[in-house]
Amino acid sequence: MMELTGSITSILYRKDDFLIAVLRTQKEDIKIKGNIHGIEKKEALTVYGSFETHQKYGRQFTVEYWERPLPQTKNQLITFLASPLIKGCGKKQAQEIVSGLGKHALSTIFKQGSSCLLNIKGIGKKRAAKIADSVRSTLEVQEIVSQLLEYGITANMALRVYKEYGSDAVKTLKENPYVLTELNLIGFSKADDIAKRIGIMPTSGYRIEACLKYILHKSCFQAGHMYMAEDQLLDETAQVLNHHAYGEDIISAKELKNGIMNMEEKSIVIENDCVYPSFLYHHEQNLAHQLSRMKRSRDSIAMSSLERQIDKYQKKHGIILVTEQREAIRELLDKQLLILTGGPGTGKTTVIRTMIAIYKQLFSGHTIRLVAPTGKASRKLAEMTGKEASTIHRLIGYQQGEMPEYHQDHKLPCDLLIIDEMSMVDVRLANNLIQAIHKNTKVLFVGDIDQLPSVGPGNVLRDMIQAGVPTIELTEVFRQARESQIIKNAHRVNQGQSIVFDKEKDDFYFLMQQDPKKIAALLVRSASRFLELGYDLSDILVLSPMKKGPVGTEILNEMLREKLNPIDEVKQEWKIGKRFFRLGDKVIQLQNNYEKQIFNGDTGVITGFTQATDDDGNAIDVMKVDYFGKEISYTKTETKELNLGYAITIHKAQGGEAPIVLIPATASHYMMLARNLIYTAMTRAKEKMVVIGTEEALNIAIANNQIAKRNSKLAERLTKNTN
C-alpha cells in the first residue's frame, strides 16, 4: 500500500462518503478517489492506497485508507477547529479555545469533553457539547481505523463497527472479532482469518458460537429450513472449525455441546433435538397457534341464499362456473380459512372475482383487502380483480427492525383477506400478517405449490395443505386456456411430460442450439426482435436459472444492455466503482426498501439523473427509476440496492408476468435443471414463450422433480393444535 501526503486543491465530485478530488503533493497533482468522509478544500491529508489507470480518466489513486495529520502549530489548530469538521465552532471561537487551552487543545477536549470548554468566552453548554462531540468523533474514528487496519479490517468495516459500538469499537473487536458477522459485514471464514491475526484462541467460545450460528443460519436462509437436527449442526460445525486454518480435531464434541448450551439462553431454541434460531421458532409456533384457532372456526350462512347469488352473478356476466369453482365459493363462506390452488388456465381469476362480488352483496358493510408478497405480484392481483391490492408489508405497515403498525395488539380492520402467490410467503411474513388480523377475519390463501417455494425459511402453503387446512384445487383447464400452447405445455411439464409444439400457432417457440455462447446470442437477438415488433422493455422477461455462467444473468445483462441500450454521447451515466447505470437501463431492486415501498424483485427503467435536496438542505445527485408509473429516487450510495434487470433469475421473476418470456435450456445449468424452475418460468408468460437450447437439457429438467424437503414443524403443530 502506497502513502501520499499533500493538501486538497479542488473537489471534483462528492456524494455521501464517496469523493473524487485533486491532492497536491510535493511532486505533482494527483486525482484521488474513494470513500473519504468530510474532507474539505485546502485540507491537509495523508492517503494510503494504490495507483490504477482508468480507461476514461487516466492515472488516478484509489484510496483504501486516509487520515488527517494532527495540527501542530497554533495556526493549524485554529484552522482545524474552525473547519466544517468541527460543528458549532467558527474562527473566533477557535481562537478563544486555542488561547485558553494551549497547544494541547485537541487532546484536552478529547479527554475531558465539553467541560473544559465551558469557561471559554462565547461558548455555552450547547455549543461546547457540539464542539467536543465533533473533535472526539474526528480523532476517535481516525485512531480506531488505524488500529484495526493491521488486522485486515477495512476502513469501511471499521467505520461500520464504530457506528455500532462507538469508542468501544477496538476493544469489542479485539475481544470478539466475530461481531463482524453479526453486522453482516463478512462471513465466518473471513472473520476467522481476522481472529487468527488478532490472536484469538481457536477454542474460544466466541469462535465456536459464531460458527454454530453461521452454519444454522446458512441452512435456514440458503436452504429454507426452519431448524437443523442437532447432530447435523454439530457435525457440520466441527468440520468448519477443525478444518479452517487450524488443522484437525482442535474443537472437542464437549466444547461444541457447551457452545450450543450457551446459545440456548440467548439465540436458539432446542426442541426434540431440533435446533431453531429462536426468532424462527417463535414465528412458527405463533403462526401455528393462530391458524389452528381460525381453522376450527366456521360461519353459518344460508346456502340457498348463496346459491341464488351465484346464479345471479353467472347470468349477469354470462359465465358458467364449474363444480370446483362453486364449491370454492361455498367453502369460503362456510369456513374461516380456505386455500385455493390450481395451475394456469384453471379459472382462479374467475372464481376470485366471483367471490369478491358475492361477498360484497352478502356483506355490504364489510372490508375486503387484497395482498401479495411482492410489488409486481400485488399489481398483477389488482389487474386480475379490478380492485386495489398492496404488498403484505405495506398492508401491515412493516418497517425493518420495528414492530409493524398492525400486530397482535393492534388489529387490521379487515373482514375478508385475500392473499395471492402464497407459495412465496415465508414463515416470518406469514406470521406477521396472521397476527395482525382479527380471529374472525376470513382468509383466502391463493397459490400454486408446484411453483418455487419461498426464498425465506419455511414452506407455509404446502404445510397448511398437509395439515388439512380446507383446500380446493382447481383442475379443469378451460377451453380458451387449452388453446394456449404456453398453458398446455406448463401443465405437461408439471406432469413430467415433454413439451409439444404446434407450428401453426405463434405463442410457443423452441430454438435448437447446443453452444451456450450461441444460446446467449440468440436470447439477445430474440429480445431485440420483440422490441422491433413494438414491445417495450417492460414487456420482455429474459429469465435464467443462474447468475453465473455463459447464459447466466450477469453476462446476459451486459450483452442485452449493449444491444438494447447502447452507449450514446447524449445518454447520461453514473459510474459507481466497477458498475455503471445508463439512462434507459432496465434495473431490478435487490432488497426490500420499506421507506421507498419498493421490494425485492421489482423491475423498473432509469428515466433520468437530476439533483435534489437532502435533510440538511444540501444539493445531492439522484437517479430516477420508473416502476410501472411510480417514480423512485436513488442516491449513488443507494444504488447498491439495484442491479441490471434485462435478465433476471427465475426466482426473482416469481409473482410477476410479462407478455414475452425467453429462457435458455442448457446442460451448463445442470445443477439448476429442475421441473419447478421450468414450470415457474413458463407460467410467467402471457402471450409468447421462447425456449432456446437443447431438448436434452429441457427433458432433464422436466424429469427432475426432486423438490428439496424443508425442515419445518408447522404442519405438525397445526395438526396437533387442531386435534
Q: Is 488 exposed, middle or buried (0-12, 13-18, 19+ CB in 10 A)?
A: buried
Type of residue found at 391: T
Higher-pLDDT residue of 287, 243: 287
Place 420 in a pLDDT band, splitting at 50, 70 and 90.
very high
Q: Indicate whether 366 pLDDT > 90.
A: yes
Higher-pLDDT residue of 409, 122: 409
The residue assigned the cell 485537541 is 106
Please give the pLDDT value at position 169.
Answer: 85
Alpha-carbon dihedral 73, 74, 75, 79, rounded to 10 degrees: 100
Q: Indicate whether 55 pLDDT > 70.
A: no
- The contacts of residue 495 (CB under 8 Å, 6+ apart) are none
Higher-pLDDT residue of 241, 57: 241
Q: Residue 392, SS3?
A: helix
The residue assigned the cell 472449525 is 241
Q: Which residues pair with 22 in a beta bridge?
A: 10, 31
Q: Could you give the CA distance from residue 437 to residue 403 in angstroms, rounded to a whole number?
A: 15
Distance of CA 27 to the CA centre of its chain: 47
Alpha-carbon dihedral 113, 115, 120, 121, rounded to 10 degrees: 120
The pLDDT of 225-254, averaged and rounded, is 85
Distance of CA 707 to the CA centre of its chain: 24
Q: Could you give the CA distance from residue 390 to residue 367 in angstroms, rounded to a whole number?
A: 14
Give the model confidence (pLDDT) of 200-216 as tens digits. Answer: 998 999 999 999 999 99
Least confident range from 43-47, 105-109, 344-348, 560-564: namely: 43-47
Least confident range from 21-30, 148-157, 531-540: namely: 148-157
Q: Could you give the CA distance from residue 78 to residue 92 in angstroms, rounded to a whole number?
A: 9
- A 10 A CB-CB count for 160 gives 17
Closest CA to 436 of 371, 389, 387: 371
Q: Indicate whether 246 pLDDT > 70.
A: no
Please give the pLDDT value at position 224.
Answer: 94
Q: Indicate whether 445 pLDDT > 80.
A: yes
Angle between helices 230-243 and 205-223 (to 10 degrees): 120
Alpha-carbon dihedral 419, 401, 454, 288, rounded to 10 degrees: -70
Give the model confidence (pLDDT) of 605-646 as tens digits. Answer: 999 999 887 665 667 889 999 998 889 999 888 898 999 999
Please give the pLDDT value at position 33.
Answer: 85
- A 10 A CB-CB count for 600 gives 16
Q: Nine-digit cell at 363? A: 356483506
Distance of CA 552 to the CA centre of its chain: 20
* H-helix segments, 447-515: 460-466, 479-482, 485-494
Q: How many percent of the chain have pLDDT more than 70?
A: 95
Radius of gyration of the chain (CA): 30
Distance of CA 695 to the CA centre of its chain: 34
- Between CA 690 and CA 695, with CA 694 as vertex, the angle to 5 degrees is 90
DSSP secondary structure letter of residue 424: G
Q: Indicate whether 455 pLDDT > 60.
A: yes
Q: Indicate whether 176 pLDDT > 70.
A: yes
DSSP secondary structure letter of residue 166: G
Please give the pLDDT value at position 556.
Answer: 97
Most trustworthy range by pLDDT among 72-81, 158-167, 581-590: 581-590
Q: What is the mean pLDDT of the chain?
A: 88
Angle between helices 253-264 and 205-223 (to 10 degrees): 70
Least confident range from 21-35, 142-156, 493-507: namely: 142-156
Q: Could you give the CA distance from residue 567 to residue 582 in angstroms, rounded to a whole number?
A: 8
- A 10 A CB-CB count for 552 gives 21
Question: In Å, what is the CA distance from 636 to each residue of 135, 139, 155, 328, 644?
Answer: 28, 27, 19, 49, 15
Higher-pLDDT residue of 308, 280: 280
Higher-pLDDT residue of 643, 504: 643
In this structure, are residues 526 and 690 in contact, taking their beta carbons and an 8 Å threshold? Answer: yes
Q: Ramachandran region of residue 505, left (φ > 0), alpha (ψ -120 to 50) or beta?
A: beta
- The contacts of residue 516 (CB under 8 Å, 6+ apart) are 549, 550, 551, 664, 666, 668
Q: Indicate whether 267 pLDDT > 90.
A: yes
Please give the pLDDT value at position 370.
Answer: 97
Q: Could you give the CA distance from residue 311 to residue 319 in angstroms, rounded to a whole number?
A: 10
Give the model confidence (pLDDT) of 654-710 as tens digits. Answer: 989 999 999 999 988 777 789 999 999 999 999 999 999 999 999 999 999 887 789
Q: b/e for 227-256, b at 16 or more Cβ within 10 A?
A: bbebeebbebbbebbeebeeeeebbeeebb
Q: Could you give the CA distance from residue 533 to residue 690 in angstroms, rounded to a whole number?
A: 15
Sheet of 642-644, strands arranged across: 630-634, 619-627, 603-613, 586-589, 642-644
Q: Is the dihedral of CA 184, 190, 196, 199 positive or negative?
A: negative
Least confident range from 53-57, 87-91, 335-339: namely: 53-57
Sheet of 658-665, strands arranged across: 508-512, 685-693, 658-665, 540-544, 647-649
Please give the pLDDT value at position 429.
Answer: 96
Q: Could you give the CA distance from residue 339 to residue 328 in angstroms, rounded to a whole number?
A: 9
Q: Which residues pair with 472 in a beta bridge?
A: 340
Please give the pLDDT value at position 37.
Answer: 64
Q: Is 701 exposed, middle or buried (0-12, 13-18, 19+ CB in 10 A)?
A: buried
* H-helix segments, 436-484: 460-466, 479-482
Please give the pLDDT value at position 616.
Answer: 56
Q: Which residues pair with 8 in a beta bridge?
A: 23
The annotated binding site for ATP is made up of 345-349
In this structure, are residues 639 and 574 in contact, taking their beta carbons and an 8 Å threshold? Answer: yes
Give the model confidence (pLDDT) of 79-133 as tens digits. Answer: 778 876 688 888 888 898 999 998 888 888 888 989 999 988 888 888 899 898 8
Q: Indicate whether 723 pLDDT > 70.
A: no
Closest CA to 450 of 342, 578, 294: 342
Please give the pLDDT value at position 11.
Answer: 83
In this structure, are residues 656 and 684 in contact, taking their beta carbons and an 8 Å threshold? Answer: yes
Please give the pLDDT value at position 306.
Answer: 87
Give the model confidence (pLDDT) of 298-318 as tens digits. Answer: 766 667 788 889 999 999 999
Place 39 in a pLDDT band, splitting at 50, 70 and 90.
confident
Please give the pLDDT value at position 435.
Answer: 96
- Between CA 524 and CA 459, with CA 376 as vertex, the angle to 5 degrees is 105
In this structure, are residues 206 and 176 in contact, taking their beta carbons and an 8 Å threshold? Answer: yes
- A 10 A CB-CB count for 429 gives 21
Q: Could you give the CA distance from residue 140 to residue 635 in angstroms, rounded to a whole number?
A: 28
In this structure, are residues 413 and 436 in contact, taking their beta carbons and an 8 Å threshold? Answer: no
Least confident range from 70-74, 319-323, 571-575, 697-701: namely: 70-74
In this structure, are residues 135 and 93 in contact, taking their beta carbons and an 8 Å threshold? Answer: no
